[in-house]
Structure 1
Amino acid sequence: MRSVRPRRWAACLLLTPLLTGTLSGCFAPADSSDPKADSTGGKRLRIALAFPPSESFSPYGADATLLSRLGVTEGLTKLDGNGAPAPALAESWTQEDARTWQFTLRDARFQDGTPLTGAAAATALTRAAQASPAPAALSGVSLTAEASGERRVRVTTATPDPALPLRLAGPSLAVLSPKAYGKQGAADPVGHATGPFTLTKVDGSTSAALDRFDDYWGGRAQAPGIDARFIADGTARANALRTGEEDVAEALPFAQAASLAKGTGREVPTARTTSLYLNTASGPFADPELRAAARAAIDTSVLAENVYEGYADPGQGIFGPALTWAAGKRQQPTGRASAAQPHGATVRLATYDNRPELPEVAQVLQQQLEKAGFKVTLTVRESSRVEGDALAGKFDAFIGARNTMLDTGDPVSVLASDYTCDGTYNMARLCDKNVDKAVAAADALADQDKRRDAAMAAEARILGTDAVVPLVHQRNILGVSTTVSGVLLDPYERTVVATGTRR
């Protein structure tokens, strides 16, 4: 039986935007009699994370999310509970014209002691815009930034970008101190960010240590620091939680949920969709009729009920039911090819094991595809060792779990990044002029409701190519010790800890 999060948690999440210091009102008071507690009554948090840093904690790629989840980095904006842009390092903003926005910064300091200024914010955004490869949040977007006052920064895009405030909430567009940037374009977040915790030590891909940043603008964190371990094996993460070695363990296997101690398993609805991406540029799935055959061979209900043990919903589209606005706007796929007979076509299928269900999903798909007439070879590796090869087209099919709101919070930007000719995270290597046209049409709209309508029309066009087969819309199991309070249950998976997180 699933454990249900306490009612006061639900109330806190509904009434309070993510990453806000006012969440401390939802937490139990500290036990100041504990000799191991610091002056706030808190002790260091021990957290087990599923994905190790793969880019030396670069703030521009996949590691940007790790920095955000651990409370190290922040952007000018963040996402609120409804997926709308909310103030973060920027207190407010105004749109001056179709391409220009001005952001007023709050009174804050970097972890190296320097003040947050318009010039510092402009430097950070300029460096991000010049990074190679470009941050996913800037896929298809060119911007410039300049200080327009001591605490103001003006951001201009090459073409109108109605989603810019959403885009700037992306973890890869965090604002770092000018001292963070080296001569070769590298950016070092250690001691140069603005969040409530500062990264102090990194042991390769094994562990990291963080200390509290006492001068944080949002108030002093209740935990004096964080000790993070990167444990790829989901069962090992669950065992570390059970034995008390870890206080928080993310992305636990669903098979472990029933054996967790009462009150320690938190079910979190997410915007994460597990999908099968078919390589449209080379190999057997360059043929749209074979892509149609693969899609027709897959039974997603088996995956949702058996592999995910009911902690997922069968795939409906790129955007799942956690995004409540998507359900009433979904359209039928357009332009699908007829399925051809595979006749033993060989398919190289790959996935990663950091999310423990994915290898099992891959085995089920292997069986389903072989039953339909394909011959399938399967590769399973750790994510940092397989994802680059998938992007380079070294596999015919790839199974990945993608939080569609992780990079920008804007559905159109997600489609541009993942499914257009110039997309930077195009696992399917799709380049279709009709898809590009539909995404561009959506991107031209400023009204949020109309933009979402157009995004769903573009989704229908993408699904019609059979370049991607949505498998399940996932819920996560977050393991939290009963001695810990204030862990954030974030459907966008950008945050875990905040100033009120403590044990």
Structure 2
Amino acid sequence: MLRLRRWLRLVAAMSAVPLVAGCFGAAGQSTEDGRLSVVMLLPPRAALNPFTDDAFKLSRLGIAETLINLDPEGGPLPGLAVSWERRDEFEWSFQLRPGVVFHDGSPLTAEVVVDSLGRATRARPKPRILDGVDMQVRADGPDRVAVRTAEPDPLVPQRLSSPQLSILASSAYGPDGLPDPTRAGSGPFVLTELRGADGARLDRYDGYWDGKAQASGLDVHFVPDGTARTAALRTGDADVVEAIPASQAGLLDPNTVRAVPMPRTNTLYLNTRPGSVLGDPGLRSAVREAVDRQPLVGGPYEGQADLARGLLGPALPWSGQRPEPAAPAPPVDPAGRKITLATFSDRAELPEVAAILEQQLERAGFQVELVVREYSQIEADALSGQFDAFVLSRATVLDSGDPVAYLQSDFSCDGGFNISGLCDPAVDAALTEAAAEGDLAVRRQKILLAEREVLRTGAAVPLLHERVFQGNAPGVEGAAFDPRERLLVLPGTRAD
């Protein structure tokens, strides 16, 4: 049991990198018969509070569930709700799944759902899927809930798929109101112990509504160091490993690692604010013309990324149906103009990407000053327009499986993450039209038209689409390869 812990300590001593590791069992020889050893990238930041980003661990580990799931293209599928209907512009009705029993033995009822979702709407900070959304939830009988929004919202089902809106038993909420998912979820695995930043123990929930899981339990270990995660897979000390670094994926048996396109795009945001150097559309076009994406993919990402043809990438299969691009402004000669290019060091590849872009832009005739800081020290300056260009790795579908919120946040006049400072009436009109569309097929067409309008302005130069690498030990079957990183261990996941 202690073999991998000792190995991790050796890696830590050799690299002077502090590691977090638990007690692993060898793959196929887990700490107990039928259990799986799962290695995750980051420890929980808020004790697995579902109103935070920790919620994604609850869904990836099969602890908690939501009313709605998503299909590969982002459409709604049944979860704890088996059906739904839109009653009018403002209200939706959801029929709950019968026979669901939480890990504490209590049943799923409309009152429980109202309590869970009501607490989410009142949480501070509010779950990001509810940013700007005024949502009220009420029981509509013992097994049906009604969700009403202040404004028409065709994405209510998709919003309810966010892991941050997981439904927990009433026993999860203590006197302080903070949720504790221990023995309070409804998924195939029961959280029985959370060991801080080290790991967690989950046992199979034999009362799961969709049948017993194949694995008898999960031993979860939080290991921030990429070298240690890779070694855990290579040496056979882990069954399922998330977030294998792209630079190390090539060191592994190709039968044990798989690349999954992520809905995450590396983008060069250009400052369009009046008075800025790149406020000139012609100079933005000069930047676009100077960028050669191939060295970015082949260098920092070692070929393990996809060249960007737009803001939305292959993780959204329908994005390949985009219309012909709109003609941007003709480029003008940079003539030695000085620009500041910035990025952050928290993602190891981004400073390398920025350094290559610096060279390309200087060859094109710009004078470039490169600024690299930790993200916490650079975000405010980026949002206030202190830089002419900013390299950012950005999730494009956020929590709803729909990219409208990302496009509005980053490129609308009122966007809360508008690094480019873009305010273009045609862009806003296209985004407003896409946001209001309820028919998913038509909505996707309108999203691609809005993307075209953004790219026409030159406010953003898409560089590449990232991939995530997941490792499964030989003999492990049934693990999920999910671009949205919501699913990992499924009821059918097992090690033969």
**Secondary structure of 1:458's match?**
helix
Structure 2 gap segments, 5+ residues each? 1-27
1:84-95 → structure 2 map (5 Å cutoff)? 84-95=75-86
Residue 430 of structure 2 corresponds to residue 449 of structure 1: no
TM-score, normalization by structure 2: 0.82
Structure 1 gap segments, 5+ residues each? 1-30
Residue 299 of structure 2: aligned partner: 306
Residue 352 of structure 2 corresponds to residue 360 of structure 1: yes
366, 370, 373: which is aligned to 2:367?
373
Q: Distance in 1 between matches of 2:453 and 2:175?
A: 43
* Structure 1 residue 458, shift from structure 2 partner: 1.4
CA contact (8 A) 1:44 1:225 kept: yes
Residue 264 of structure 1: aligned partner: 256
Q: Distance in 2 between matches of 1:153 and 1:65?
A: 24
Q: Distance in 1 between matches of 2:270 and 2:199?
A: 34
Residue 88 of structure 2 corresponds to residue 81 of structure 1: no
Q: Tell which structure's C-alpha radius of gyration is larger.
A: 2
60, 65, 84: which is aligned to 2:56?
65
Residue 82 of structure 2 corresponds to residue 103 of structure 1: no
Give the residue type in structure 2 aligned to 1:297. Answer: A
Length, aligned pairs only: 463
Q: Distance in 1 between matches of 2:377 and 2:237?
A: 29
Moved more, 242-251 or 116-125: 242-251
CA contact (8 A) 1:350 1:362 kept: no
1:337-356 → structure 2 map (5 Å cutoff)? 341=334, 343-353=337-347
Residue 144 of structure 2 corresponds to residue 160 of structure 1: no
**Secondary structure of 2:85's match?**
strand
1:84-483 → structure 2 map (5 Å cutoff)? 84-106=75-97, 107-181=99-173, 186-278=178-270, 287=279, 289=281, 292=285, 294-333=287-326, 341=334, 343-353=337-347, 357-371=349-363, 372-380=366-374, 396=387, 398-421=390-413, 423=415, 432-483=424-475
**Secondary structure of 1:307's match?**
coil
Moved more, 388-397 or 470-479: 388-397
* Structure 1 residue 133, shift from structure 2 partner: 3.4
* Structure 1 residue 441, shift from structure 2 partner: 1.2
Residue 7 of structure 2: aligned partner: none
CA contact (8 A) 1:69 1:494 kept: yes
Tell me: CA distance 1:398–1:238, structure 2 relative to 1, closer, same or farther (3 Å).
farther
Tell me: CA distance 1:163–1:288, structure 2 relative to 1, closer, same or farther (3 Å).
farther
CA RMSD in angstroms comes to 3.3
**Secondary structure of 1:489's match?**
coil
Give the residue type in structure 1 aligned to 2:96. Answer: L
**Secondary structure of 1:352's match?**
coil
Q: Distance in 2 between matches of 1:391 and 1:59?
A: 29
CA contact (8 A) 1:352 1:386 kept: no
Tell me: CA distance 1:35–1:262, structure 2 relative to 1, closer, same or farther (3 Å).
closer
* Structure 1 residue 186, shift from structure 2 partner: 3.8
**Secondary structure of 2:338's match?**
coil
Residue 4 of structure 2: aligned partner: none
CA contact (8 A) 1:267 1:475 kept: yes
CA contact (8 A) 1:196 1:212 kept: yes
Percent identical: 42
* Structure 1 residue 434, shift from structure 2 partner: 4.1
CA contact (8 A) 2:277 2:339 kept: no
Q: Distance in 2 between matches of 1:439 and 1:281?
A: 20
* Structure 1 residue 90, shift from structure 2 partner: 0.4
Tell me: CA distance 1:36–1:134, structure 2 relative to 1, closer, same or farther (3 Å).
closer
* Structure 1 residue 189, shift from structure 2 partner: 3.0
